[in-house]
Chains A and B, each alone.
Chain A
Amino acid sequence: MLDIVTRQKDQAVIVAISGDVDLYSSPEVRKVLIGLTGRKAPLIVVDLRAVSYMDSSGIATLVEGLQQMSKYGGELRLFGLGAAVREVFELSRLDKVFQIYDSEAAALPDNQAAETP
């Protein structure tokens, strides 16, 4: 069962996802991201620490979010990728396209200089 919790932290919206992101559950993620990009959220930070599995539909959802945000100059950042999820990004060669951080603190603007994605 997928669980998505969003919270505001200064200018950023943190989207914490728990569970598997697959063909069944990715529409829920999409709904949240499209809602946020529709309001032109300047920074969305997606917490993937509790995502143990992600398939191409999950990746596609994040790519769509990234593209929507780039239209208005927003930023989509990711952190907490486990080995399995990270490998899907690497296989798709998207690990260089997304801004991927190790922790929430590193993904937030104040710490941007401390860690290069």
Chain B
Amino acid sequence: MIQKIVIVGGGSAGWLTAGIIAARFQSSERYIQISLVESPEVSTIGVGEGTWPTMRTTLKKIGLSETDFLSCCDASFKQGSKFIGWRSESSEDVYYHPFTLPNQKVTWRFLSAWKRYFPHLSFAEAASFQSKLCDLGVAPKLITMAEYGGAANYAYHLDAGKFVELLKRHCTENLGVNYIRDHVVRIATKDNGDIAAIVTKDNGEIAADLFIDCSGSSAILLAGHYQIPFTSIRQYSFNDRALAMQIPYADDNVPIASATLSTAKSAGWIWDIGLTSRRGTGYVYSEAHSDREAAEREIRNYAAQSIGVAAAESLPVKQLTFEPGHRAEFWHRNVVAVGMAAGFIEPLEASALALVELSANFIRDELPASDDAMTVVAKRFNKLFAYRWQRIVEFLKLHYVLSGRTDTDYWRDVKADSAVPDGLKEMLELWQYRPPYYNDFPHTEEIFPEASYQYILYGMNFQPKFPYVEIAEDASEVLLIKEALSKAKTYRENLPNNRDLLAAMRRHGMSKI
């Protein structure tokens, strides 16, 4: 019977996993004891500040109030991503990937209606009201709406360090998670090869039935102990360095962007995440195509656009190095890896925290009752997450392959035939004749829905070979595009701006209903 779970590592992955599992079994007939062991000698990475809308469900289930979360983590509302300079070098070149799904099925008839009657609109504008809200810095909800509810679908931007602190407090004070601050010195195994216990410096042996490896890229259990090989995805995903820089707001009136800004640069792209307290930015680039000095110049120039040269030159930058890829197996014997211990890829669509949520949800829902069941659960977990990684790699690649940029080696190399996964090539061939639809993504819990592919594909100006069809002026496709436009108008007239709403929420709080 699996009763004791030990989580190794206390970053966002460790505490989020602890919270997700502990909240489920807190008031359950099944007794589960969760301990989290965090080394005082290892510091957490502290980036990963964008989430998916799934985080709303996650936080609600864990039992955190949205008001507490927003104020503790300097968090703000994220309604999608804005891609700047991905089609061409121009800073005017922008498109959105909003979280709200298109208001109609994206069919050939829809594409034809859009091109015939609304050629001046972007795909996102024709399919959803939300990109307009992002453009205008309008919040996704009213203060009178319940916690975790919104007029438009939304996720968060958050301060990763503060998020970990909040989760840790909540897990230890309210969810009964046992926190052990100690360094793992050795692994004790059973005869069958399972891990029996981790041996710590001060607390000795800590035994468990299941170990969750959240120790970051070193993956001390899965890689360190079991030597599970690493599957590199460098062939497809070039970026392996990041220069992170926190940028202060010039004053209290600067709008807080309600979308993650992703600006393409000469050897990668810059993320820009607006919190209530500051912006978190970072240049994620390919070491093979740039060097630290040139990259630092690019991010400082980027910062200078909003805060001036002098301020931009004085800000500290922090360099991060990562190897794009994932473990060949995620769950081996009685160890499962979550977070960077499982793998890491550039944060282009903020998949890191989402993968933690998905992994922890799976472990929670399938928590094997016995060692025999564990073998089956592990096999299923490995299969599902290998598929998810493949999907992430392909989806991220989609952002690059359609780019018209040829200004640097980087932009020429990322589109090279050998750098594009076969699965993506096949889909691009099909999409010449029809839009991405559900048959392309057969899993019940796809990591990115077909809408995401549609927003990127048509956002990047994909030109299908197949001719558009003739659509009547009063066809339902046309009327639904008009409806999206009028909804955008109603919402922007009635919803507050992002900064004002966040300020009002900090002052008054929100109600849980």
Q: A and B: real partners? A: no
> Which chain B residues have a beta carbon within 8 Å of chain A's beta carbons?
none
Interface residues of A (CB under 8 A from B): none
